[in-house]
């Protein structure tokens, strides 16, 4: 591609050097530069691409996009106000605007992005569509699936994925859109057709500086939506609801408690943990070609949790907007078996073991609200304290957990620092332990604190009796909890049906 032709997609301030020549590729990492590449210097949290411009030139970069000229580097340089924004525009143009050739669904939320995107993808696949999926767990391009590196890839990598999807004749792509992805312009120039905001609660405050900045990043997906796009909003979330009149997009709302939503949940039954309910679409929805009629239809979920109801509503509405028949949606939702560590039922025999990532106050509220609706004898919680996330997050998590204790009959909590199962970046600090213990003590809850995860889980398994629920709760520290619990079950409960335990363990290992 001609360098001048590519750079015509930028609003640049000044140029140093001759812009003749062609571009063989793009790179924002100097080690990925090849002869003829255009190098884009982006500033990150840990380093600055401008420091590696000389290295990129040595590797054959034909030119560079910079925010500050590097006089000592003898290659043409184009100065822009925001190199991240420039990278997105360049990537989109270089790969031929691939997202315009796809129906792209972007999902943002504090909790549930992964499950909602997986559910949406399952609905689209059930309709016989060839799909792509981008998120925290995997990246899927048609039939090719790889582990994900970032929830929302850098813009260059993202547009390349869309380009690959187009080449493989994918028609629909569903992606998680993280707050950092929005803040760092990773989704710049993505041509969304449907954007979804499921919920907002306090999370990533340290990354964004304040909750207000975090909310502003999330809200950007909705506020910047174009009139031809659809915005799906959860009216039970006040932050999502506040954006209803702040978008130019066509809106479609849903709710369980807010009866003013376009689509309502009626007759919700969560007694087994697996929801059954009626979806009521209150008015006809006009589309570009045809309409979605006013209607009601039953839905049955195979995954547990109140949060799964919200996630499924977002996925159902996205499916309807994509033209998927109701019968196909019902079948796909019932067949959907969930995503690892999202209120995942890992063992169900004479008692239940549920594994949940319990990331923040919003997630904890929804998880424990689900347990309140379920029928069981006693609840036991093994909680992995969030390491290196700061006192504020750990205090809020502890306060939320404590607020539910009276309603759930909880008198004690088994806590762990998961010392042997986390890396340095997730190490629990003494201050984080202290704030957790202080909140628990104020609430009158007894804490059994273990440094090691296996010891904490062993204590939980000693307590659990027929009819009970054992909740393995926590983020990074609890990532190995399900496997450890099932392995300990094999040794500690000789009366259990070993085939059931082994099958659960095999399924869990296969999924990790």
72 shares its domain with 118: no
154 shares its domain with 281: yes
Separation of CA 76 from chain center = 39
CA dihedral sign, ordered 427, 430, 435, 438: positive
Count Cβ atoms below 10 Å from residue 361 Cβ, excluding itself. 22
- The CATH number of the domain holding residue 319 is 3.40.1190.10
Residue 143 has a pLDDT of 85
82 shares its domain with 139: no
Q: Which of 70, 94, 118 is the last residue in one of the domains?
A: 94
- Rounded to 5 degrees, what angle do the CA atoms 119, 123, 124 make? 120
CA separation (Å) from 263 to 19, 148, 260, 268, 403? Answer: 54, 33, 9, 14, 31
105 shares its domain with 88: no
> How far apart are alpha carbons 148 and 142 in whole angstroms?
15
Residue 46 has a pLDDT of 74
Residue 329 has a pLDDT of 98
Question: Is there a contact between 269 and 256 (Cβ–Cβ < 8 Å)?
Answer: no
79 shares its domain with 107: no
**3-class DSSP assignment, residue 157:** helix
* The residue to which tokens 């063992």 are assigned: 347
Count Cβ atoms below 10 Å from residue 154 Cβ, excluding itself. 22
Where does residue 459 rank: exposed (0-12), middle (13-18), buried (19+ CB within 10 A)? middle
Residue 505 has a pLDDT of 52
85 shares its domain with 16: yes
Residue 510 has a pLDDT of 41
Residue 512 has a pLDDT of 37
Question: Is there a contact between 19 and 81 (Cβ–Cβ < 8 Å)?
Answer: no
Question: Is there a contact between 147 and 133 (Cβ–Cβ < 8 Å)?
Answer: no
Query: E strand or H helix at 298, and its extent?
Result: strand 295-304
Per the structure, the count of domains in the chain is 3
- Rounded to 5 degrees, what angle do the CA atoms 72, 74, 77 make? 95
Query: E strand or H helix at 286, and its extent?
Result: strand 285-286
123 shares its domain with 74: no
171 shares its domain with 50: no
The domain of 360 spans 344-511
pLDDT digits (tens, 9 = 90+) for 63-73: 999 999 999 99
> What is the reported pTM?
0.78
Closest CA to 341 of 441, 476, 503: 476
> How far apart are alpha carbons 196 and 113 in whole angstroms?
9
Beta strand 295-304 with 274-281 is antiparallel
**3-class DSSP assignment, residue 25:** strand
CA separation (Å) from 301 to 9, 86, 110, 446? Answer: 46, 43, 22, 35
Beta strand 37-40 with 63-66 is parallel
79 shares its domain with 135: no
> How far apart are alpha carbons 66 and 435 in whole angstroms?
44
135 shares its domain with 280: yes
320 shares its domain with 213: yes
CA separation (Å) from 289 to 9, 82, 99, 249, 312? Answer: 33, 39, 21, 17, 25
Question: Is there a contact between 223 and 246 (Cβ–Cβ < 8 Å)?
Answer: yes
Q: Which of 94, 114, 145 is the last residue in one of the domains?
A: 94
- The CATH number of the domain holding residue 403 is 3.90.190.20
- The CATH number of the domain holding residue 79 is 3.40.1390.10
> How far apart are alpha carbons 434 and 437 in whole angstroms?
5
- Rounded to 5 degrees, what angle do the CA atoms 343, 345, 346 make? 125
**Residues in contact with 173: Cβ distance below 8 Å, sequence separation at least 6, in sequence order:** 99, 102, 103, 104, 105, 131, 132, 133, 134, 162, 165
Question: Is there a contact between 469 and 352 (Cβ–Cβ < 8 Å)?
Answer: yes
pLDDT by residue, tens only, the chain of 512 residues: 999 999 999 999 999 999 988 999 999 999 999 999 999 999 876 789 999 999 999 999 999 999 999 999 999 999 999 999 999 999 999 999 999 999 999 999 988 898 999 999 999 999 999 999 999 878 999 888 887 777 899 999 999 999 999 999 999 999 999 988 998 999 999 999 999 999 998 655 556 668 888 899 999 999 999 999 999 999 999 999 999 999 999 999 999 999 999 999 999 999 888 899 999 999 999 998 899 999 999 999 998 888 899 999 999 999 999 999 999 999 999 999 887 787 888 888 889 999 998 888 888 988 898 898 888 999 999 999 999 988 998 999 999 999 999 999 999 999 999 999 999 989 999 999 999 999 999 999 999 999 999 999 999 999 999 999 999 999 889 999 999 998 898 776 655 554 555 555 555 544 43
Closest CA to 142 of 129, 160, 159, 158: 129
| HSE (side-chain half, CA atoms, 13 Å) at 205 | 16
31 shares its domain with 172: no
Q: Which of 94, 120, 147 is the last residue in one of the domains?
A: 94
């Amino acid at each position: 591609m001609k360098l001048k032709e590519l750079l015509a997609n930028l609003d640049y301030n000044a140029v140093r050097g001759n812009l003749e020549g062609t571009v063989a590729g793009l790179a924002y990492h100097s080690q990925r530069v090849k002869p003829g590449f255009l190098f884009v210097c982006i500033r990150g949290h840990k380093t600055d691409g401008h420091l590696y411009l000389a290295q990129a030139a040595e590797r054959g970069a034909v030119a560079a996009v910079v925010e500050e000229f590097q006089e000592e580097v003898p290659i043409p340089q184009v100065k822009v106000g925001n190199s991240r924004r420039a990278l997105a525009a360049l990537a989109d143009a270089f790969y031929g605007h691939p997202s315009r050739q796809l129906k792209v669904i972007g999902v943002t939320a504090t909790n549930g992005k992964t499950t909602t995107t997986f559910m949406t993808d399952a609905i689209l696949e059930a309709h016989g569509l060839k799909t792509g999926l981008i998120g925290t767990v995997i990246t899927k391009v048609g039939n090719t699936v790889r582990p994900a590196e970032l929830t929302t890839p850098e813009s260059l990598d993202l547009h390349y994925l869309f380009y690959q999807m187009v080449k493989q004749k994918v028609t629909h792509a569903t992606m998680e859109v993280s707050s950092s992805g929005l803040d760092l312009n990773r989704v710049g120039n993505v041509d969304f057709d449907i954007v979804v905001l499921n919920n907002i609660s306090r999370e990533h405050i340290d990354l964004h500086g304040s909750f207000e900045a975090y909310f502003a990043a999330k809200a950007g997906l909705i506020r910047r939506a174009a009139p031809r796009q659809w915005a799906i909003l959860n009216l039970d979330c006040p932050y999502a609801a506040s954006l209803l009149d702040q978008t130019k997009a066509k809106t479609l709302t849903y709710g369980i408690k807010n009866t003013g939503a376009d689509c309502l949940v009626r007759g919700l039954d969560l007694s087994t943990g697996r929801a059954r309910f009626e979806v009521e679409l209150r008015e006809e929805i006009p589309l570009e070609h045809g309409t979605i009629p006013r209607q009601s239809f039953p839905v049955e979920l195979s995954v547990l949790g109140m949060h799964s109801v919200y996630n499924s509503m977002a996925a159902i509405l996205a499916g309807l907007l994509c033209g998927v028949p109701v019968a196909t949606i019902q079948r796909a939702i019932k067949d959907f078996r969930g995503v690892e560590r999202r209120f995942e039922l890992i063992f169900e025999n004479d008692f239940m073991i549920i594994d949940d990532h319990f990331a923040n106050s919003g997630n904890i509220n929804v998880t424990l609200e689900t347990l309140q609706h379920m029928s069981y004898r006693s609840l036991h919680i093994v909680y992995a304290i969030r390491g290196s996330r700061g006192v504020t997050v750990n205090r809020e998590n502890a306060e939320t957990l404590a607020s539910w204790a009276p309603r759930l009959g909880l008198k004690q909590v088994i806590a762990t620092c998961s010392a042997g199962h986390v890396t340095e970046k997730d190490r629990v600090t003494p201050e984080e332990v202290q704030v957790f213990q202080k909140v628990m003590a104020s609430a009158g809850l007894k804490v059994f604190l273990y440094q090691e995860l296996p010891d904490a889980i062993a204590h939980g398994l000693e307590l659990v009796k027929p009819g009970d629920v054992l909740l393995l709760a926590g983020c990074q520290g609890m990532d190995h909890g399900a496997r450890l619990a099932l392995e300990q079950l094999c040794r500690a409960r000789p009366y259990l049906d070993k085939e059931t335990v082994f099958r659960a363990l095999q399924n869990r290992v296969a999924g990790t």
